[in-house]
Homo-oligomer: A and B are copies of this chain.
């Protein structure tokens, strides 16, 4: 039996990833006594690995696959296959940006003002490449953390990751430029990717992860409507997927069952009611594969 060695990102993404795997159908059990989580699938083995080091170890073959940020694939220049993005829209696993930022009252206003300055960042490689592409010479120092409080005392600028920019604003920083956009990615080792069994396993895993991600922001909607009002009612529904329309015992009525974005329910539901839908019921979903 082929076994897929999967790296799970240790640290800030860990809990969200274990939770996502659970919703996808795999139970990962972390033990305080060991750093090797157990997983309830004989075809898989897990290892907790820092997101920063994931691509390096997937590249070397120590792992067949891993979940990490695209940014760290770029920073470590690892040669791996990015199988899929995993955009989990609620707060975690989401898209992030690495931005170049300076204090609000800094005299630095564009990248070239950084000439001869000190920049603190966790992504030294990405930052150097960014500067090189713009012909700027600056000293890039590796930062062990809390980078956003290093300016202006310890550095002139920083390159730091942010989701919404709120932490940067709270530290009174001004964003000059976006250095790199990144998202959580599912990566594979090149050799493992060419192994049919491992590739199928990985693709099924990604299918289930995306099914769970997809369900997390969507809900099911059931309602009844008279046939004569069906068309009007359907015109209100967003076109995510054709709704399932089924016959009822009372042939004047049909039942409609569909999937919509949770975020638009508050707009759609009053309109459905206005369009004479009855018995409108919203219910939660676990997974969606359209």
Contact = CB atoms under 8 A, between A and B. Distances in A.
Interface of A: 10, 24-26, 32-36, 40-41, 47-50, 52-53, 56-57, 62, 141, 143-146, 149, 153-154, 170, 204, 207-208, 211, 215, 219-220, 222, 224, 241-242, 244-250, 254-255, 257, 259, 262-263, 265-266, 269-270, 272-273, 278-290
| Residue among A208, A219, A241, A286 with the highest chain B CB neighbour number at 10 A | A286
Given A244-B224, A266-B26, A47 B153 contact: yes
| Assembly stoichiometry (copies) | 6
Given A57-B154, A143-B53, A249-B246, A269 B287 contact: yes
B283 A284 contact: yes
Given A62-B153, A272-B289, 15 more contacts: A25-B266, A40-B263, A56-B141, A204-B270, A222-B244, A241-B279, A244-B279, A246-B246, A247-B249, A255-B257, A259-B279, A269-B287, A281-B288, A282-B287, A283-B286
A146 to B, nearest CB: 6
| Residue among A255, A263, A283 with the highest chain B CB neighbour number at 10 A | A283
Contacts of A56: 141
A280 B211 CA distance: 9
5 closest A-B pairs by beta carbon, nearest first, are A25-B266, A35-B149, A245-B249, A282-B287, A282-B286
A204 B48 CA distance: 46
Q: Report whether over half of chain A's contact residues are helix, strand or loop; otherwise say mixed.
A: mixed
A164 to B, nearest CB: 10
A266 B24 contact: yes
A143 B57 CA distance: 12
A266 B49 contact: no
A219 B286 contact: yes
A170 B78 CA distance: 32
Contacts of A154: 47, 49, 53, 57, 62
